[in-house]
Amino acid sequence: MPDAFAYEILAAFEASGGARVGRLTTPHGAVETPAFIPVGTKAAVKGVMPQALREIGVQILLANTYHLALRPGADVVRDLGGLHAMMAWDGPILTDSGGFQVFSLAALRRVTDEGVTFRSPIDGAEMTLTPESAVAIQNDLGADILMALDVCPPHPCPREEVEEAVRRTLAWAERSRAAHHRPDQSLWGITQGGVERDLRERCARELVAMDFPGYAIGGTSVGEGHDLLRRVLDWTMPLLPWDRPRYVMGVGEVRDVVAAIALGADLFDCVLPTRNGRNGCAFTANGVIRLRNEAFRCDRRPIEEECDCPACRSFSRGTLRHLFASSEMLGPILLSMHNLRFYTRLFERLRNAIREGRFDAEARGLLDAYYQNG
């Protein structure tokens, strides 16, 4: 790892595999893993102040290279003091490379061996991301952890397209490494391969040979579902170095998170808590509740008795339902905070279980309660 970074395994459910607790040290502080990363795509976690993020236990944030290069521009972010200044966040920040937009903006892009050309949804202008420019943009953004540009194929996808995505991802990883020189930023590689075992294994082995300081599993949560995701993790995770951080990209569904942690994953990001919060859905230990429902009209209980978030400390389910029914912006803000606190509490619970050697039992009880209604 670069001099300013370190990764240390503090506890493991199994000696050389499986769930572990670690500490990832960056120039802007340490992250205790496993950890959840809230998504601040455009340099803001929608509706939640940075101080509130700290208070509810968030350790690290994510922002997106493509969207910030589009607006306001990487040079503007740099001139404003970088992402830490813009986001008023003094903790670690990770930036995605723009590779996910190869999947999510498929109608607006063209992929060649050189890079990806996008047509701006704002004004129609073209913007090309290459492995070199994606690194340069992330240098300007000033994040602690950078991701190499990759090609994220959808699911389902013809095998030949997945094979082409792996070929380009590996070639771009080499070019990204050659372009990256800043010791105060850590560049990580991303494995791809869809749901093709041999391609997943090839990509992982060849990336590991490049000796990145951290590795991500990409091309997940693109429509493959839990069972196929589990297979991808089973194939890929054992091939990634035990002494390096492992990041499962875009995964936030509780059963998926627990399965990945059981196999040794350290970091996760997902829009699920904030997106669902903005739409009136609250995560609880007993599953998701939809607070727009009439059943909560006069419900004086908090979302969860055990939760210490601002929503649960001060507002009833009935009040929250009213805020959504009245289109008051406070409702989405409070539910976003609650859902993020649900995730930080979930990860705290799982870290403690790993430390105490009871991860399997804790995971079974947690999943049974969360999915008790299907």
Please give the radius of gyration of the chain, using alpha carbons only, rounded to the nearest integer.
20
CA distance 108 to 102: 9
Is there a catalytic annotation at residue 256? no
> Are the beta carbons of 193 and 159 closer than 8 angstroms?
no
Residues 6+ apart with CB under 8 A from 198: none
Q: Closest Cα to residue 273, out of 328, 337, 349?
A: 337
> The tokens of 138 are what?
């992330």
Q: In a 10 Å sphere around its CB, with 0-12 CB exposed, 13-18 middle and 19+ buried, how is residue 226 labelled?
A: exposed
Is there a catalytic annotation at residue 75? no
Residues 6+ apart with CB under 8 A from 174: 210
Catalytic residue, from 96, 144, 150, 266: name it: 96
Q: Closest Cα to residue 28, out of 134, 190, 142?
A: 142
Q: Closest Cα to residue 349, out of 340, 358, 336?
A: 358
CA distance 141 to 160: 35
CA distance 212 to 210: 6
Catalytic residue, from 144, 150, 256, 269: name it: 269
CA distance 355 to 353: 5
Q: Closest Cα to residue 233, out of 259, 208, 210?
A: 259
User: Could you give the 3-state DSSP secondary structure of residue 347?
Assistant: helix
Catalytic positions are 96, 269
